[in-house]
Amino acid sequence: MEQIDNRELLNDRGIKYTNQRNITFNILRQMDLPITAEQAFMKVKEVDSSISLSTIYRILDLFVSKGLVLKSNISDDNKAIFELNRMEHKHHLICVKCKKMTVVDNCPFEAFEKTLEQKTKFQITAHKLEMYGFCPLCQEKGGDI
């Protein structure tokens, strides 16, 4: 794993630079989809075996509070997932059986958001869509669907 020095970026956000924060940030930078704290912990542990899960939680919470990371919950098991805040607008389809996440390529709400703003005079600054169901592979397997 390529380690980029994120010292300036972290300092600009008011975050004191540490090697563990830098490693965690690099892990998140490499992920295409959100990951759990436990998944982040396992990946960081490959680089720094001294890190603890509680340290990962503290780092992730700090990154969320500073706007570097987005936190969401997977509804059925109430597990938090984290992803780097790339300032991109995206939505996810989440399989309730295998937890596979798929990014929705375009936003189905852009026109609706404008209409809603006009109708309610509410200034909408953001929205998030997560749809839950069964992915094609889990549908094929059948079972508990």
108/36: higher pLDDT: 36
Greater model confidence, 85 or 28 = 28
- Check whether residue 77 and residue 109 sit in a common domain: no
Report the pLDDT averaged over residues 80-108.
80
For 27, the token pair is 């892990």
pLDDT digits (tens, 9 = 90+) for 42-68: 999 999 999 999 999 999 999 999 989
Q: What is the DSSP code (8-state) at residue 33?
A: S
Q: Does 67 lie in the same domain as 112?
A: no
Task: Determine contact, residues 79/36, Cβ cutoff 8 Å.
Answer: yes
pLDDT band at 22 (very low <50, low <70, confident <90, very high): very high
Number of domains within the chain: 2
Task: Clarify whether residues 93 and 83 are in a common domain.
Answer: no
Q: Quote the domain boundaries for residue 17.
A: 1-87
State whether 97 and 80 are in the same domain: no
Mean pLDDT of 18-35: 93
Domain boundary among 51, 69, 87: 87
Q: Do 16 and 6 sit in the same domain of this protein?
A: yes
Token pair belonging to 125: 């600054």
Interior/surface letters 15-31, b for 16+ CB within 10 angstroms, e for the rest:
beeeebbbbbbbbbeee
- Is pLDDT of 116 > 70? yes
Query: Do 76 and 98 belong together in one domain?
Result: no
Q: Confidence class of residue 144 from pLDDT cuts 50, 70 and 90?
A: low
- Point out the domain boundary residue: 46, 68, 87: 87
Q: Are strands 130-133 and 91-95 parallel, antiparallel or unpaired?
A: parallel
